Protein backbone atom coordinates (compact mmCIF):
# COMPACT_ATOMS: atom_id res chain seq x y z
CA UNK A 1 0.00 0.00 0.00
CA UNK A 2 1.38 3.43 -0.95
CA UNK A 3 1.79 6.14 1.66
CA UNK A 4 -1.03 8.15 0.07
CA UNK A 5 -3.44 5.22 0.35
CA UNK A 6 -2.41 4.65 3.95
CA UNK A 7 -3.13 8.32 4.69
CA UNK A 8 -6.57 7.95 3.11
CA UNK A 9 -7.18 4.89 5.29
CA UNK A 10 -6.05 6.74 8.42
CA UNK A 11 -8.30 9.73 7.65
CA UNK A 12 -11.32 7.49 7.00
CA UNK A 13 -10.81 5.58 10.26
CA UNK A 14 -10.33 8.84 12.15
CA UNK A 15 -13.59 10.14 10.72
CA UNK A 16 -15.77 7.09 11.31
CA UNK A 17 -14.13 5.02 14.07
CA UNK A 18 -12.00 7.48 16.06
CA UNK A 19 -12.87 6.25 19.56
CA UNK A 20 -12.65 2.59 18.57
CA UNK A 21 -9.17 2.85 16.99
CA UNK A 22 -7.76 4.74 19.97
CA UNK A 23 -9.11 2.07 22.30
CA UNK A 24 -7.58 -0.60 20.04
CA UNK A 25 -4.16 1.07 20.15
CA UNK A 26 -4.33 1.27 23.94
CA UNK A 27 -5.56 -2.33 24.31
CA UNK A 28 -2.51 -3.70 22.49
CA UNK A 29 -0.12 -1.00 23.80
CA UNK A 30 1.04 0.09 20.36
CA UNK A 31 2.37 3.51 21.41
CA UNK A 32 4.68 4.02 18.42
CA UNK A 33 2.05 2.99 15.87
CA UNK A 34 -0.48 5.29 17.56
CA UNK A 35 2.05 8.11 17.38
CA UNK A 36 2.65 7.44 13.66
CA UNK A 37 -1.13 7.34 13.12
CA UNK A 38 -1.54 10.85 14.58
CA UNK A 39 1.54 12.18 12.78
CA UNK A 40 0.09 11.08 9.44
CA UNK A 41 -3.03 13.05 10.29
CA UNK A 42 -1.04 16.17 11.20
CA UNK A 43 1.56 16.25 8.42
CA UNK A 44 1.54 16.00 4.62
CA UNK A 45 3.59 13.49 2.64
CA UNK A 46 6.16 16.22 1.92
CA UNK A 47 6.83 16.47 5.66
CA UNK A 48 8.30 12.98 5.93
CA UNK A 49 11.45 14.30 7.62
CA UNK A 50 9.40 15.93 10.39
CA UNK A 51 7.42 12.74 10.97
CA UNK A 52 10.61 10.67 11.02
CA UNK A 53 12.34 12.94 13.54
CA UNK A 54 9.32 12.93 15.87
CA UNK A 55 8.96 9.17 15.55
CA UNK A 56 12.61 8.03 15.84
CA UNK A 57 14.23 11.14 17.38
CA UNK A 58 16.88 11.38 14.69
CA UNK A 59 17.28 12.92 11.25
CA UNK A 60 15.88 11.25 8.16
CA UNK A 61 18.30 9.97 5.48
CA UNK A 62 17.97 7.65 2.51
CA UNK A 63 19.94 5.03 4.46
CA UNK A 64 17.44 4.89 7.31
CA UNK A 65 14.36 5.26 5.08
CA UNK A 66 13.72 1.52 5.60
CA UNK A 67 12.81 2.28 9.24
CA UNK A 68 10.03 4.60 8.11
CA UNK A 69 8.74 2.17 5.46
CA UNK A 70 8.73 -0.71 7.94
CA UNK A 71 6.74 1.34 10.41
CA UNK A 72 4.21 2.21 7.70
CA UNK A 73 3.83 -1.51 6.90
CA UNK A 74 3.29 -2.34 10.57
CA UNK A 75 0.67 0.40 10.87
CA UNK A 76 -1.15 -0.82 7.74
CA UNK A 77 -1.22 -4.39 9.08
CA UNK A 78 -2.44 -3.21 12.48
CA UNK A 79 -5.20 -1.04 10.95
CA UNK A 80 -6.36 -3.92 8.75
CA UNK A 81 -6.54 -6.18 11.81
CA UNK A 82 -8.59 -3.51 13.58
CA UNK A 83 -11.00 -3.21 10.63
CA UNK A 84 -11.53 -6.97 10.44
CA UNK A 85 -12.10 -7.27 14.19
CA UNK A 86 -14.36 -4.22 14.21
CA UNK A 87 -16.37 -5.58 11.29
CA UNK A 88 -16.76 -8.98 12.98
CA UNK A 89 -17.98 -7.37 16.20
CA UNK A 90 -20.41 -5.16 14.27
CA UNK A 91 -21.64 -8.16 12.28
CA UNK A 92 -22.24 -10.19 15.41
CA UNK A 93 -23.97 -7.31 17.18
CA UNK A 94 -26.10 -6.17 14.26
CA UNK A 95 -26.98 -9.56 12.71
CA UNK A 96 -28.96 -11.71 15.18
CA UNK A 97 -29.14 -14.56 12.66
CA UNK A 98 -25.34 -14.90 12.59
CA UNK A 99 -25.20 -14.71 16.38
CA UNK A 100 -27.71 -17.59 16.62
CA UNK A 101 -25.76 -19.60 14.04
CA UNK A 102 -22.53 -19.32 16.03
CA UNK A 103 -24.39 -20.17 19.25
CA UNK A 104 -25.72 -23.41 17.73
CA UNK A 105 -22.29 -24.22 16.34
CA UNK A 106 -20.82 -23.84 19.82
CA UNK A 107 -23.58 -25.94 21.42
CA UNK A 108 -22.92 -28.69 18.90
CA UNK A 109 -19.19 -28.69 19.68
CA UNK A 110 -19.99 -28.98 23.37
CA UNK A 111 -22.28 -31.98 22.72
CA UNK A 112 -25.19 -30.07 24.28
CA UNK A 113 -27.68 -31.60 21.87
CA UNK A 114 -30.76 -30.83 23.96
CA UNK A 115 -29.77 -27.17 24.03
CA UNK A 116 -29.11 -27.34 20.27
CA UNK A 117 -32.61 -28.67 19.54
CA UNK A 118 -34.16 -26.16 21.93
CA UNK A 119 -32.69 -23.17 20.03
CA UNK A 120 -32.69 -24.68 16.53
CA UNK A 121 -36.12 -23.55 15.32
CA UNK A 122 -35.58 -20.11 16.82
CA UNK A 123 -32.33 -19.80 14.85
CA UNK A 124 -34.05 -20.84 11.61
CA UNK A 125 -36.92 -18.41 12.18
CA UNK A 126 -34.52 -15.57 13.06
CA UNK A 127 -32.53 -16.16 9.87
CA UNK A 128 -35.65 -16.22 7.69
CA UNK A 129 -37.02 -13.10 9.37
CA UNK A 130 -33.70 -11.39 8.65
CA UNK A 131 -33.66 -12.53 5.02
CA UNK A 132 -30.43 -14.42 5.84
CA UNK A 133 -31.00 -17.72 4.04
CA UNK A 134 -27.27 -18.49 3.96
CA UNK A 135 -27.19 -18.66 7.77
CA UNK A 136 -30.41 -20.70 7.82
CA UNK A 137 -28.87 -23.23 5.42
CA UNK A 138 -25.72 -23.47 7.54
CA UNK A 139 -27.79 -24.05 10.70
CA UNK A 140 -29.77 -26.71 8.82
CA UNK A 141 -26.49 -28.39 7.82
CA UNK A 142 -25.34 -28.35 11.45
CA UNK A 143 -28.47 -30.27 12.40
CA UNK A 144 -27.92 -32.76 9.60
CA UNK A 145 -24.37 -33.41 10.81
CA UNK A 146 -25.64 -34.05 14.35
CA UNK A 147 -28.52 -36.40 13.46
CA UNK A 148 -26.45 -39.38 14.53
CA UNK A 149 -26.14 -37.92 18.05
CA UNK A 150 -29.55 -36.27 18.28
CA UNK A 151 -31.49 -39.38 17.11
CA UNK A 152 -29.85 -42.48 18.67
CA UNK A 153 -32.52 -44.84 17.30
CA UNK A 154 -31.26 -46.03 13.90
CA UNK A 155 -34.78 -46.73 12.59
CA UNK A 156 -35.87 -43.14 13.28
CA UNK A 157 -32.88 -41.54 11.56
CA UNK A 158 -34.19 -41.77 7.97
CA UNK A 159 -37.28 -39.74 8.90
CA UNK A 160 -35.11 -37.24 10.80
CA UNK A 161 -32.81 -36.84 7.78
CA UNK A 162 -35.83 -36.52 5.49
CA UNK A 163 -37.13 -33.61 7.60
CA UNK A 164 -33.75 -31.87 7.40
CA UNK A 165 -33.54 -32.38 3.63
CA UNK A 166 -37.12 -31.15 3.11
CA UNK A 167 -36.44 -28.02 5.15
CA UNK A 168 -33.18 -27.48 3.27
CA UNK A 169 -35.03 -27.68 -0.06
CA UNK A 170 -37.44 -24.97 1.09
CA UNK A 171 -34.57 -22.74 2.26
CA UNK A 172 -32.65 -23.32 -0.96
CA UNK A 173 -35.69 -22.35 -3.02
CA UNK A 174 -35.95 -19.09 -1.09
CA UNK A 175 -32.23 -18.42 -1.52
CA UNK A 176 -32.42 -19.01 -5.28
CA UNK A 177 -35.49 -16.78 -5.42
CA UNK A 178 -33.56 -14.03 -3.61
CA UNK A 179 -30.44 -14.33 -5.80
CA UNK A 180 -32.54 -14.24 -8.99
CA UNK A 181 -34.38 -11.14 -7.76
CA UNK A 182 -31.02 -9.47 -6.98
CA UNK A 183 -29.77 -10.41 -10.43
CA UNK A 184 -32.87 -8.94 -12.07
CA UNK A 185 -32.38 -5.78 -10.02
CA UNK A 186 -28.85 -5.45 -11.44
CA UNK A 187 -30.16 -6.19 -14.95
CA UNK A 188 -32.74 -3.44 -14.45
CA UNK A 189 -29.93 -1.00 -13.68
CA UNK A 190 -27.98 -2.11 -16.77
CA UNK A 191 -31.03 -1.60 -18.98
CA UNK A 192 -31.78 1.79 -17.40
CA UNK A 193 -28.32 3.15 -18.23
CA UNK A 194 -28.22 1.43 -21.62
CA UNK A 195 -31.54 3.09 -22.49
CA UNK A 196 -30.23 6.46 -21.28
CA UNK A 197 -27.23 6.23 -23.62
CA UNK A 198 -29.10 4.47 -26.46
CA UNK A 199 -26.69 1.54 -26.15
CA UNK A 200 -28.68 -1.48 -27.33
CA UNK A 201 -25.61 -3.75 -27.09
CA UNK A 202 -25.98 -3.85 -23.29
CA UNK A 203 -29.72 -4.57 -23.07
CA UNK A 204 -30.21 -7.76 -21.04
CA UNK A 205 -33.29 -9.91 -20.53
CA UNK A 206 -34.45 -10.59 -17.00
CA UNK A 207 -34.23 -14.11 -15.60
CA UNK A 208 -37.69 -15.63 -15.71
CA UNK A 209 -36.91 -19.33 -15.10
CA UNK A 210 -37.62 -18.85 -11.39
CA UNK A 211 -40.59 -17.05 -9.88
CA UNK A 212 -39.20 -14.36 -7.58
CA UNK A 213 -42.45 -12.84 -6.32
CA UNK A 214 -43.11 -15.07 -3.32
CA UNK A 215 -45.35 -13.64 -0.60
CA UNK A 216 -43.34 -15.48 2.06
CA UNK A 217 -40.00 -14.09 0.85
CA UNK A 218 -40.01 -10.33 1.54
CA UNK A 219 -36.35 -9.77 0.62
CA UNK A 220 -36.82 -11.43 -2.76
CA UNK A 221 -39.94 -9.32 -3.28
CA UNK A 222 -37.98 -6.23 -2.27
CA UNK A 223 -35.26 -6.67 -4.91
CA UNK A 224 -37.78 -7.65 -7.55
CA UNK A 225 -39.71 -4.44 -6.95
CA UNK A 226 -36.51 -2.36 -6.96
CA UNK A 227 -35.63 -3.85 -10.33
CA UNK A 228 -39.03 -2.86 -11.70
CA UNK A 229 -38.94 0.70 -10.33
CA UNK A 230 -35.61 1.39 -12.04
CA UNK A 231 -37.32 0.93 -15.42
CA UNK A 232 -40.56 2.74 -14.46
CA UNK A 233 -41.61 6.39 -14.38
CA UNK A 234 -44.02 8.69 -12.60
CA UNK A 235 -46.65 7.33 -10.25
CA UNK A 236 -45.87 3.72 -11.22
CA UNK A 237 -42.30 4.14 -10.01
CA UNK A 238 -43.51 5.57 -6.69
CA UNK A 239 -45.89 2.61 -6.26
CA UNK A 240 -43.07 0.11 -6.80
CA UNK A 241 -40.87 1.97 -4.30
CA UNK A 242 -43.63 2.13 -1.68
CA UNK A 243 -44.31 -1.59 -2.03
CA UNK A 244 -40.57 -2.30 -1.81
CA UNK A 245 -40.53 -0.34 1.46
CA UNK A 246 -43.52 -2.35 2.70
CA UNK A 247 -41.71 -5.61 1.92
CA UNK A 248 -38.38 -4.70 3.56
CA UNK A 249 -40.29 -3.45 6.62
CA UNK A 250 -41.51 -7.02 7.23
CA UNK A 251 -37.95 -8.11 8.06
CA UNK A 252 -35.97 -7.76 11.29
CA UNK A 253 -34.42 -4.28 11.48
CA UNK A 254 -31.83 -5.51 13.99
CA UNK A 255 -30.05 -6.83 10.92
CA UNK A 256 -27.93 -3.82 9.97
CA UNK A 257 -27.97 -4.74 6.27
CA UNK A 258 -31.77 -4.91 6.22
CA UNK A 259 -32.00 -1.60 8.10
CA UNK A 260 -29.61 0.04 5.64
CA UNK A 261 -31.66 -1.23 2.67
CA UNK A 262 -34.82 0.14 4.26
CA UNK A 263 -33.25 3.58 4.71
CA UNK A 264 -32.00 3.50 1.14
CA UNK A 265 -35.46 2.86 -0.31
CA UNK A 266 -36.86 5.67 1.88
CA UNK A 267 -34.21 7.92 0.32
CA UNK A 268 -35.26 6.77 -3.17
CA UNK A 269 -38.88 7.55 -2.31
CA UNK A 270 -37.89 11.03 -1.14
CA UNK A 271 -35.77 11.69 -4.21
CA UNK A 272 -38.39 10.52 -6.72
CA UNK A 273 -41.21 12.38 -4.95
CA UNK A 274 -39.11 15.52 -5.12
CA UNK A 275 -38.32 15.08 -8.82
CA UNK A 276 -42.04 14.58 -9.54
CA UNK A 277 -43.04 17.77 -7.71
CA UNK A 278 -44.36 16.12 -4.51
CA UNK A 279 -42.13 18.33 -2.38
CA UNK A 280 -44.06 18.10 0.90
CA UNK A 281 -44.10 14.29 0.76
CA UNK A 282 -40.42 14.26 -0.20
CA UNK A 283 -39.61 16.59 2.68
CA UNK A 284 -41.29 14.21 5.14
CA UNK A 285 -38.96 11.39 4.07
CA UNK A 286 -35.87 13.62 3.83
CA UNK A 287 -36.44 15.09 7.31
CA UNK A 288 -36.91 11.61 8.82
CA UNK A 289 -33.61 10.39 7.37
CA UNK A 290 -31.71 13.56 8.22
CA UNK A 291 -32.42 13.36 11.95
CA UNK A 292 -31.13 9.77 12.25
CA UNK A 293 -27.87 9.25 14.12
CA UNK A 294 -24.90 8.32 11.89
CA UNK A 295 -26.94 8.89 8.72
CA UNK A 296 -23.76 10.28 7.12
CA UNK A 297 -22.20 6.79 7.32
CA UNK A 298 -24.53 5.41 4.65
CA UNK A 299 -23.39 5.43 0.99
CA UNK A 300 -26.42 7.44 -0.14
CA UNK A 301 -25.83 10.26 2.38
CA UNK A 302 -24.18 12.71 -0.09
CA UNK A 303 -27.21 12.33 -2.35
CA UNK A 304 -29.51 12.73 0.66
CA UNK A 305 -27.92 16.02 1.73
CA UNK A 306 -27.83 17.40 -1.81
CA UNK A 307 -31.39 16.45 -2.68
CA UNK A 308 -32.75 17.47 0.74
CA UNK A 309 -31.39 21.00 0.37
CA UNK A 310 -32.68 21.17 -3.22
CA UNK A 311 -36.14 20.12 -2.03
CA UNK A 312 -36.06 22.76 0.72
CA UNK A 313 -35.42 25.37 -1.96
CA UNK A 314 -38.45 24.10 -3.89
CA UNK A 315 -40.46 24.65 -0.69
CA UNK A 316 -38.87 28.11 -0.30
CA UNK A 317 -37.45 27.04 3.09
CA UNK A 318 -34.25 28.98 2.53
CA UNK A 319 -33.25 29.48 6.19
CA UNK A 320 -33.72 25.77 6.89
CA UNK A 321 -31.72 24.97 3.76
CA UNK A 322 -28.79 27.06 5.00
CA UNK A 323 -28.94 25.42 8.44
CA UNK A 324 -28.77 21.96 6.87
CA UNK A 325 -25.83 22.99 4.69
CA UNK A 326 -23.92 24.28 7.72
CA UNK A 327 -24.50 20.96 9.49
CA UNK A 328 -23.34 18.75 6.61
CA UNK A 329 -20.79 20.87 4.70
CA UNK A 330 -17.82 18.92 6.15
CA UNK A 331 -19.41 15.46 6.06
CA UNK A 332 -17.99 14.36 2.70
CA UNK A 333 -15.00 16.57 1.76
CA UNK A 334 -13.86 14.26 -1.05
CA UNK A 335 -17.19 14.18 -2.90
CA UNK A 336 -16.79 17.14 -5.25
CA UNK A 337 -20.11 16.66 -7.05
CA UNK A 338 -22.23 17.07 -3.94
CA UNK A 339 -20.01 19.78 -2.51
CA UNK A 340 -20.77 21.79 -5.66
CA UNK A 341 -24.49 21.03 -5.35
CA UNK A 342 -24.51 22.23 -1.74
CA UNK A 343 -22.67 25.39 -2.77
CA UNK A 344 -25.21 26.03 -5.54
CA UNK A 345 -28.08 25.61 -3.08
CA UNK A 346 -26.34 27.92 -0.60
CA UNK A 347 -26.00 30.62 -3.27
CA UNK A 348 -29.61 30.18 -4.44
CA UNK A 349 -30.76 30.66 -0.83
CA UNK A 350 -28.68 33.85 -0.56
CA UNK A 351 -30.25 35.08 -3.82
CA UNK A 352 -33.81 34.66 -2.50
CA UNK A 353 -32.85 36.16 0.88
CA UNK A 354 -31.07 39.03 -0.89
CA UNK A 355 -27.87 38.34 1.07
CA UNK A 356 -25.50 39.90 -1.48
CA UNK A 357 -22.43 40.05 0.80
CA UNK A 358 -22.70 36.42 1.80
CA UNK A 359 -23.25 35.48 -1.85
CA UNK A 360 -20.01 37.13 -2.94
CA UNK A 361 -18.14 35.62 0.04
CA UNK A 362 -19.05 32.05 -0.97
CA UNK A 363 -19.02 32.40 -4.76
CA UNK A 364 -16.27 30.13 -6.23
CA UNK A 365 -13.05 31.87 -7.22
CA UNK A 366 -12.48 29.92 -10.44
CA UNK A 367 -15.45 28.40 -12.25
CA UNK A 368 -13.50 27.54 -15.42
CA UNK A 369 -12.32 24.30 -13.79
CA UNK A 370 -15.91 23.13 -13.15
CA UNK A 371 -18.17 20.99 -15.32
CA UNK A 372 -20.35 22.76 -17.88
CA UNK A 373 -23.45 22.15 -15.74
CA UNK A 374 -21.85 23.84 -12.73
CA UNK A 375 -20.44 26.69 -14.77
CA UNK A 376 -23.87 27.25 -16.31
CA UNK A 377 -25.50 27.42 -12.85
CA UNK A 378 -22.87 29.71 -11.34
CA UNK A 379 -22.92 32.16 -14.24
CA UNK A 380 -26.73 32.39 -13.98
CA UNK A 381 -26.52 32.98 -10.23
CA UNK A 382 -23.74 35.53 -10.66
CA UNK A 383 -25.87 37.45 -13.17
CA UNK A 384 -28.74 37.58 -10.65
CA UNK A 385 -26.36 38.79 -7.95
CA UNK A 386 -25.23 41.68 -10.17
CA UNK A 387 -28.87 42.48 -10.96
CA UNK A 388 -29.61 42.69 -7.22
CA UNK A 389 -26.71 45.13 -6.86
CA UNK A 390 -28.20 47.11 -9.80
CA UNK A 391 -25.09 46.43 -11.86
CA UNK A 392 -27.09 45.58 -14.98
CA UNK A 393 -24.07 45.81 -17.28
CA UNK A 394 -22.25 43.02 -15.39
CA UNK A 395 -25.47 40.98 -15.21
CA UNK A 396 -25.66 41.12 -19.01
CA UNK A 397 -21.95 40.33 -19.27
CA UNK A 398 -22.38 37.11 -17.31
CA UNK A 399 -25.25 35.99 -19.55
CA UNK A 400 -23.32 36.87 -22.72
CA UNK A 401 -20.23 35.00 -21.48
CA UNK A 402 -22.44 31.97 -20.86
CA UNK A 403 -23.91 32.12 -24.37
CA UNK A 404 -20.56 32.62 -26.10
CA UNK A 405 -18.43 30.17 -24.09
CA UNK A 406 -17.50 27.44 -26.56
CA UNK A 407 -17.88 24.63 -24.04
CA UNK A 408 -21.47 25.58 -23.33
CA UNK A 409 -22.75 26.36 -26.82
CA UNK A 410 -24.04 22.88 -27.56
CA UNK A 411 -24.85 21.92 -23.98
CA UNK A 412 -27.36 24.46 -22.68
CA UNK A 413 -29.91 24.13 -25.51
CA UNK A 414 -32.63 22.71 -23.26
CA UNK A 415 -32.22 25.64 -20.84
CA UNK A 416 -31.93 28.26 -23.57
CA UNK A 417 -35.41 29.77 -22.92
CA UNK A 418 -34.51 30.86 -19.37
CA UNK A 419 -31.19 32.31 -20.56
CA UNK A 420 -32.99 34.22 -23.30
CA UNK A 421 -35.51 35.50 -20.73
CA UNK A 422 -32.77 36.80 -18.44
CA UNK A 423 -30.96 38.40 -21.38
CA UNK A 424 -34.10 40.29 -22.46
CA UNK A 425 -34.84 41.30 -18.85
CA UNK A 426 -31.31 42.56 -18.09
CA UNK A 427 -31.20 44.39 -21.43
CA UNK A 428 -34.40 46.24 -20.52
CA UNK A 429 -33.05 47.11 -17.07
CA UNK A 430 -29.69 48.26 -18.47
CA UNK A 431 -31.22 50.51 -21.10
CA UNK A 432 -33.86 51.83 -18.71
CA UNK A 433 -31.28 52.34 -15.95
CA UNK A 434 -33.61 50.81 -13.38
CA UNK A 435 -35.41 47.65 -12.19
CA UNK A 436 -38.57 49.27 -13.55
CA UNK A 437 -38.01 48.99 -17.27
CA UNK A 438 -39.55 51.02 -20.08
CA UNK A 439 -42.65 49.73 -21.87
CA UNK A 440 -40.85 49.05 -25.15
CA UNK A 441 -38.81 46.23 -23.53
CA UNK A 442 -41.74 44.42 -21.91
CA UNK A 443 -43.12 42.72 -25.02
CA UNK A 444 -39.94 40.62 -25.77
CA UNK A 445 -39.85 39.55 -22.11
CA UNK A 446 -43.48 38.44 -22.10
CA UNK A 447 -42.80 36.48 -25.29
CA UNK A 448 -40.01 34.53 -23.55
CA UNK A 449 -42.29 33.86 -20.56
CA UNK A 450 -44.91 32.38 -22.90
CA UNK A 451 -42.29 30.08 -24.50
CA UNK A 452 -41.30 28.76 -21.07
CA UNK A 453 -44.87 28.28 -19.86
CA UNK A 454 -45.70 26.23 -22.96
CA UNK A 455 -42.45 24.26 -22.84
CA UNK A 456 -40.37 21.98 -20.61
CA UNK A 457 -41.91 21.29 -17.19
CA UNK A 458 -38.44 21.00 -15.62
CA UNK A 459 -37.63 24.64 -16.38
CA UNK A 460 -40.91 25.80 -14.83
CA UNK A 461 -39.98 24.13 -11.50
CA UNK A 462 -36.44 25.54 -11.41
CA UNK A 463 -35.62 27.91 -8.56
CA UNK A 464 -34.11 30.33 -11.08
CA UNK A 465 -37.40 30.61 -12.95
CA UNK A 466 -39.22 31.17 -9.64
CA UNK A 467 -36.83 34.05 -8.94
CA UNK A 468 -37.39 35.43 -12.46
CA UNK A 469 -41.14 35.58 -11.88
CA UNK A 470 -40.67 37.35 -8.55
CA UNK A 471 -38.30 39.90 -10.11
CA UNK A 472 -40.65 40.48 -13.05
CA UNK A 473 -43.55 41.08 -10.66
CA UNK A 474 -41.47 43.61 -8.70
CA UNK A 475 -40.66 45.32 -12.02
CA UNK A 476 -44.32 45.54 -12.91
CA UNK A 477 -44.05 43.22 -15.94
CA UNK A 478 -46.20 40.39 -14.53
pLDDT per position as a tens digit, 453-462: 887 777 778 8
Question: What is the arithmetic mean of pLDDT over 96-117?
Answer: 86
* Same domain assignment for residues 114 and 72: no
Rounded to whole angstroms, the Cα distance separating 213 from 221 reads: 5
Question: What is the arithmetic mean of pLDDT over 397-404?
Answer: 83
* Same domain assignment for residues 78 and 111: no
* Same domain assignment for residues 64 and 83: yes
Q: What is the 3-state secondary structure (H, E, C) of the chain?
A: CCHHHHHHHHHHHHHHCHHHHHHHHHHCCCHHHHHHHHHHHHCCHHHHHHHHHHHHCCCCCCCCHHHHHHHHHHHHHHHHHHHHHHHHHHHHHHCHHHHHHHHHHHHHHCCCHHHHHHHHHHHHHHHHHCCCHHHHHHHHHHHHHHHHHHCCCHHHHHHHHHHHHHHHHHHHHHHHHHHHHHHHHHHHHHHHHHHHCCCHHHCCCCCCCCCCCCCCCHHHHHHHHHHHHHCCCHHHHHHHHHHHHHHHCCCCCCCHHHHHHHHHHHHHHHHHHHHCCCHHHHHHHHHHHHCCCCHHHCCCHHHHHHHHHHHHHHCCCHHHHHHHHHHHCCCCCCCHHHHHHHHHHHHHHHHHHCCHHHHHHHCCCCCCCCCHHHHHHHHHHHHHHHHHCCCHHHHHHHHHHHHHCHHHHCCCHHHHHHHHHHHHHHHHHHHHCCCCCCHHHHHHHHHHHHHHHCCCHHHHCCHHHHHHHHHHHHCCCC
In a domain? residue 131? yes
* Same domain assignment for residues 173 and 102: yes
pLDDT given at position 214? 56
In a domain? residue 121? yes
Rounded to whole angstroms, the Cα distance separating 415 from 449 reads: 13
Confidence of residue 343 (pLDDT cuts 50, 70, 90): very high
13, 35, 70, 386 from 75: Cα distances, Å: 13, 10, 9, 53
Q: What is the pTM of this model?
A: 0.77
What's the pLDDT tens digit per position in 417-445? 888 899 999 988 888 888 888 888 888 88
* Same domain assignment for residues 116 and 33: no
pLDDT given at position 262? 93
Range of the domain at 70: 3-94
In a domain? residue 253? no
Residue after which a domain boundary falls, among 79, 94, 109: 94
In a domain? residue 11? yes
The per-residue pLDDT of the chain, averaged, comes to 85
* Same domain assignment for residues 78 and 106: no
Residue after which a domain boundary falls, among 63, 94, 125: 94
Please name which of 43, 71, 42 lies closest in space to residue 56, comparing C-alpha atoms: 71
What's the pLDDT tens digit per position in 59-98? 888 888 888 888 889 999 999 999 998 877 766 666 778 8
Confidence of residue 385 (pLDDT cuts 50, 70, 90): very high
Whether 101 shows a pLDDT value over 70: the answer reads: yes
pLDDT given at position 140? 93
Residue after which a domain boundary falls, among 132, 152, 177: 177
What's the pLDDT tens digit per position in 182-223? 888 888 777 776 665 666 555 566 655 555 455 678 888 898
In a domain? residue 151? yes
In a domain? residue 88? yes
Whether 3 shows a pLDDT value over 80: the answer reads: no
pLDDT given at position 401? 82
* Same domain assignment for residues 11 and 87: yes
* Same domain assignment for residues 15 and 86: yes
Confidence of residue 161 (pLDDT cuts 50, 70, 90): confident
Q: Which of 26-40, 189-203, 276-290, 397-411 has the lowest mean pLDDT?
A: 189-203
Choose between 45 and 212: higher pLDDT: 45
Contacts (Cβ under 8 Å, ≥6 apart) of 386: 392, 394, 395, 397, 398
The distance between the two most distant Cα atoms of the chain, rounded to a whole number of Å, is 103
* Same domain assignment for residues 90 and 126: no
First to last CA, the chain: 63
pLDDT given at position 96? 78
Whether 464 shows a pLDDT value over 80: the answer reads: yes
In a domain? residue 159? yes
Domain count, the chain: 2
In a domain? residue 424? no
Amino acid sequence: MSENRLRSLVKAIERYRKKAIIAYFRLYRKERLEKLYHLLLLHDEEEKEIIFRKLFRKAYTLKNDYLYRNELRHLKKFLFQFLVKDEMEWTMYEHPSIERKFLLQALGRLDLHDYFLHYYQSAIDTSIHSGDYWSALEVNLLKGNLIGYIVPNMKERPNAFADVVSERGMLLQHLISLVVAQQNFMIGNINYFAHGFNDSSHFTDEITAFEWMKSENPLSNFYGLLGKQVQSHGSEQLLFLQEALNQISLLDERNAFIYGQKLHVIYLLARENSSQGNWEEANRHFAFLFQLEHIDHYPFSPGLFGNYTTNLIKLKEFHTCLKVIELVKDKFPLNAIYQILLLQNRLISYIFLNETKLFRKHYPKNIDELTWQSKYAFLILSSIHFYQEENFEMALHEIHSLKTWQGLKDQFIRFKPIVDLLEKFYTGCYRSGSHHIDMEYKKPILKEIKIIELGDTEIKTMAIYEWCKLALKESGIL
